[in-house]
Amino acid sequence: MFNGNQRQLPECIGFLVIPDFSMIAFTAAVEPLRLANRMSGRALYAWRVMSSDGAPVSASNGVSISPDSALTSKMDGDGALFSAVVLCSGVGAESYRHPEVFSYLHRIERLGVDIGAVCTGTHVLANAGLIGGYKCAIHWENLPAFTESFPTIDVDTHLFEIDRNRFTCSGGTAALDMMVHLIAMEHGEELALKVSEQCQVDQIRPADVVQRMALRTRIGGNHPKLIAAIEKMEDNLEDPLTPEELATFIGLSRRQLERLFRQHVGRSPTQFYLELRLQRARMLLIQTGMPVVDIAVACGFVSASHFSKSYRQQFLHAPRDERRHAVAASSLS
């Protein structure tokens, strides 16, 4: 589809939906294709929605989609081969294991079909062994767990990545950015701008935009020393800095650092730092199979018992209970 080869129009795109897929990412990937057809006055794209067995699939918001078919390598009618298949998933993708789906993805790759993923679909591709050696993107919330599970895969914080016959994005409206960019590559900037305008989007964000909101937006403040301190915390979750080291880094005394955090975030820098580390630990517990003791070390705790105590105080249950609840929820989806 997007590898520069000339293909017969309309190009056929398959969308493979995984249980609990992200509805916003799915629709943001499909709609630009429809609008490209409408704004060009030509049938540039056709698409088909698939599930592993052809049965309806529920998105993470509870809305059910009725696929056109089970897994297939071709469109109906003239039997045209898909030029690309886009994997759409959402919560729980890290634990998704489906031999039939994995076999299908390997089969279409051998047929020369490009493979894409939106939101957490990148994790499914990694589980299937189909993203190694490629640059890729995944939703920022899944990034820490992904890098722990696949340390050799080149994943980044960008909105999307296009690398040869792989295209992946971080989810949400980034799927729209990626698809509009790909439409521009194939059919020109003018059509891509028309598609964006129809979506009420005033600009096409480039791939290398960092996907998370700016820190000043997330914390609701713009004090430069506060932002510098929190950025330093986020960069040092595994080996936490002491309050004195943090204060020295931003050019304040420890007392001034304490006052700064109390004034702007309502708690001490030590408590704020601990919450960051525990939030990271929670994501690793939910999204990976790492032993609890390894998660404790990865989040800067000196022992599993210290980690467990801190975790219970923050979330009112033990780390093992968190994982148990996540596994139970996954089995129900």
Domains of the chain as residue ranges with CATH? 11-198 (3.40.50.880), 215-332 (1.10.10.60)
β-strand pairing of 57-58 with 45-50: unpaired
Over residues 229-237, the mean pLDDT reads 92
Residue-wise pLDDT for 240-272, tens only, equals 999 999 999 999 999 999 999 988 888 899 999
Who's near 1: CB < 8 A, 6+ residues apart? 7, 11, 13, 83, 84, 114, 182, 186
Inform me whether the pLDDT recorded for 301 exceeds 80: yes
Q: Which helix (DSSP H) or strand (DSSP E) does residue 106 occupy?
A: helix 99-110
Structure tokens at 59: 């998105």
Q: What is the 3-state secondary structure (H, E, C) of 109-123?
A: HHCCCEEEEECCHHH
- Residue 128 to residue 106: CA distance in whole angstroms: 8
Q: Given this model, what pLDDT does residue 58 score? A: 95
Binning the chain into helix, strand and coil, the percentages to the nearest 5 are 50, 15, 35
Residue-wise pLDDT for 131-152, tens only, equals 999 999 999 888 888 988 899 9
Over residues 33-58, the mean pLDDT reads 96
Q: Given this model, what pLDDT does residue 205 score? A: 78
How does 81-106 read in b/e, with b if 16+ C-beta sit within 10 Å? Answer: ebbbbbbbbbbbbbbbebeebbebbe
Alpha helices, DSSP H, located in 188-268: 189-198, 215-219, 224-234, 243-250, 254-265
Give the residue from 131, 69, 137 showing the smallest Cα distance to 102. 131
Could you tell me what percent of the chain has a pLDDT over 70? 91
Q: Given this model, what pLDDT does residue 329 score? A: 59
Confidence of residue 175 (pLDDT cuts 50, 70, 90): very high
Indicate the average pLDDT of the chain. 89
Give the residue from 189, 202, 194 showing the smallest Cα distance to 40. 194
Confidence of residue 122 (pLDDT cuts 50, 70, 90): very high
Contact 227, 253 (CB under 8 A): no
Q: Which helix (DSSP H) or strand (DSSP E) does residue 325 occupy?
A: helix 319-332
- Residue 296 to residue 264: CA distance in whole angstroms: 28
Q: Given this model, what pLDDT does residue 110 score? A: 94
Could you tell me what percent of the chain has a pLDDT over 90? 67
- Cα Dmax for the chain: 73
Confidence of residue 217 (pLDDT cuts 50, 70, 90): low
Structure tokens at 182: 């790909």
Inform me whether the pLDDT recorded for 6 exceeds 60: no
Inform me whether the pLDDT recorded for 218 exceeds 70: no
Q: What torsion do the CA atoms of 30, 31, 36, 39 make, to the nearest 10 degrees?
A: 160
Confidence of residue 53 (pLDDT cuts 50, 70, 90): very high
Higher pLDDT, 195 or 80: 195
Contact 165, 150 (CB under 8 A): no
Inform me whether the pLDDT recorded for 76 exceeds 70: no
Over residues 301-305, the mean pLDDT reads 91
Residue-wise pLDDT for 85-102, tens only, equals 999 999 888 889 999 999
Q: Which amino acid is at 21?
A: F
- 308 vs 25, 142, 234, CA distance in Å? 35, 22, 21
Q: Given this model, what pLDDT does residue 325 score? A: 78
Confidence of residue 77 (pLDDT cuts 50, 70, 90): low
Q: Given this model, what pLDDT does residue 216 score? A: 62
Lay out the sheet containing 160-163: strands in order across. Answer: 45-50, 11-17, 84-88, 114-118, 166-169, 160-163
Contact 124, 117 (CB under 8 A): yes
Q: Given this model, what pLDDT does residue 220 score? A: 64
Structure tokens at 299: 């989040």
Over residues 46-62, the mean pLDDT reads 95
Whether omega for the bond prior to residue 67 falls within 30 degrees of 0, making it cis, is no
